[in-house]
Amino acid sequence: MTHSTHPARVAIVTGGSRGIGRQSAERLAADGLAVVIAYASNDQEAQSAVAAIQTAGGLATAVKVDVSDEQAVAQLFSATEQTYGGVDVVVHAAGIMILKPLVEFSADDFDRMHRVNVRGTFLVNRQATRRMRPGGAIINFSSSVVELALPTYAPYAATKGAVDALSRVLAREMRGRDITVNAVAPGPTATDLFLDGKDAATIDRMAKMNPLERLGTPQDIAEVVSFLAGPGRWINGQVILVNGGAV
């Protein structure tokens, strides 16, 4: 296969089958990137995301991967290179959220969340640094809750604080590579992950935390991902709070 048959730029989006990840994948495809949607379990959702991108005229494939599995993450990058010729953008949106007061938290739940959110970020970023072409961007997902310090979020916020630290240091380790590393930290956003288990009063209260008095949408977050993946080259080593001014 000659080089000319490959798309100009290629993105891997973990957690790309739903919520903010899916919206980011669709936006990057609309920006002209070929997109590999990495997803954990739901084949139907992943194929639906691929179909939506293809219907809109974009290039996309899906790869099932456990981001906490070292071999699986390496295979994800190999499959992307085999299909599209390289990797230019990595959007790491895969993550899980378990909420309850720290005193009630089980060690198993704590470990499971760290395995996906922290180890997963480490493994995906490590492969990205090994494989990415110059001019690339690594975009990790943090959370505004690191700053907001909301009750029941302590272990989750701890995983995202780790993502912040990893992103900031990695940006400096990429010196000379022309690769940016940033973290996007959404506030309350209308996704299944956020809405699940919350009553209307809680959702309304959280929507009013910011001066714009609404929840974020996945599209709001995807705008920032698109910017960092493309024109926003001079933003590097930052944690960007994307929350309508909640903090």
The pLDDT value given to residue 132: 97
- The answer to whether position 92 is within a domain reads yes
Cα separation of 21 and 17, whole Å?
7
Model confidence at 2, pLDDT cuts 50, 70, 90, reads: very low
The continuous run of DSSP H or E covering 12 comes out as strand 10-14
Q: Is 204 a member of any domain?
A: no
43, part of any domain = yes
Residue 148 sits in which domain range? 8-186+219-234
* Residue 244 pLDDT: 94
> Is 3 a member of any domain?
no
In angstroms, what CA-CA distances link 27 with 19, 34, 86, 115?
A: 12, 11, 19, 28
Token digits of residue 99: 């909420």
Q: For the residues 7-22, what does the mean pLDDT come to?
A: 95
Is 202 a domain residue? no
Q: Say how far apart CA 68 and CA 56 lie, in whole Å.
A: 32
Determine, yes or no, domain membership for 116: yes
DSSP state of 216: B
- The residues facing 11 across adjacent strands are 35, 89
Is the pLDDT at 192 greater than 90? The verdict is no
The pLDDT of 188-198, averaged and rounded, is: 83
Give the pLDDT confidence of 211-237 residue by residue, as tens digits.
999 999 999 999 999 999 999 999 999
pLDDT of 197? 81
In this prediction, residues 165-193 reach a mean pLDDT of 95
| Cα gap 66→73, rounded to integer Å | 7
Cα–Cα nearest to 32, from 60, 2, 5, 64? 60
Which pLDDT score, from 0 to 100, does residue 182 have? 98
Is the per-residue pLDDT at 3 higher than 70? no
Decide if pLDDT at 151 tops 80: yes
> Residue 150 sits in a domain of what CATH number?
3.40.50.720
Q: Please count the structural domains in the chain.
A: 1
pLDDT value, residue 4: 55
Catalytic site residues? 156
Total-model pTM:
0.95
CA distances from residue 121 to 50, 97, 169, 227 in whole angstroms, order as listed: 23, 14, 13, 21
Structural domain includes residue 85: yes
